[in-house]
């Protein structure tokens, strides 16, 4: 994969992410805000984007979505937790508790 292919992939991911984020916010704003980690103001902007604006934003060479879990140890444990069992539930509960506290 060359640099041009990588940029094309980033743009495609950005477009899909923005489209999914908008759809999620329009279907259930509160769940979308929680899932995406957006402020209410940012959620309003994303929900109101036109297709042309989504396309223009997606054309960025920077990824617009980021990992919610930045801890390498947690990511590694989640990757090994094949059944979605207690570890995944504990991590999700910790994330929910952290968002309530902030």
Q: What is the DSSP string of 6-53?
A: HHHHHHHHHHHHHHHHHHHHHH-HHHHHHHHT--HHHHHHHHH--HHH
pLDDT tens-digit profile of 10-25?
999 999 999 999 999 9
- What's the confidence (pLDDT) of residue 57? 96
Q: Which two tokens stand for residue 24?
A: 């999620």
Alpha carbon 87 to chain centroid, angstroms: 21
List the Cα angle 43/46/47 in 5-degree steps: 80
- What's the confidence (pLDDT) of residue 8? 94
Is residue 75 scored above 70 in pLDDT? yes
């Amino acid at each position: 994969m060359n640099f041009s292919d990588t940029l094309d992939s980033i743009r495609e991911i950005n477009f899909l992410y923005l489209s999914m984020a908008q759809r999620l916010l329009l279907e259930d704003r509160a769940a979308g805000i929680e899932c995406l980690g957006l402020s209410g103001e940012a959620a309003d902007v994303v929900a109101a984007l036109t297709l042309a604006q989504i396309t223009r934003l997606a054309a960025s060479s920077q990824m617009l979505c980021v990992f919610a879990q930045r801890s390498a140890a947690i990511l590694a444990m989640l990757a090994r937790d094949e059944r979605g069992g207690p570890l995944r539930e504990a991590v999700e509960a910790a994330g929910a508790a952290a968002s309530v506290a902030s």
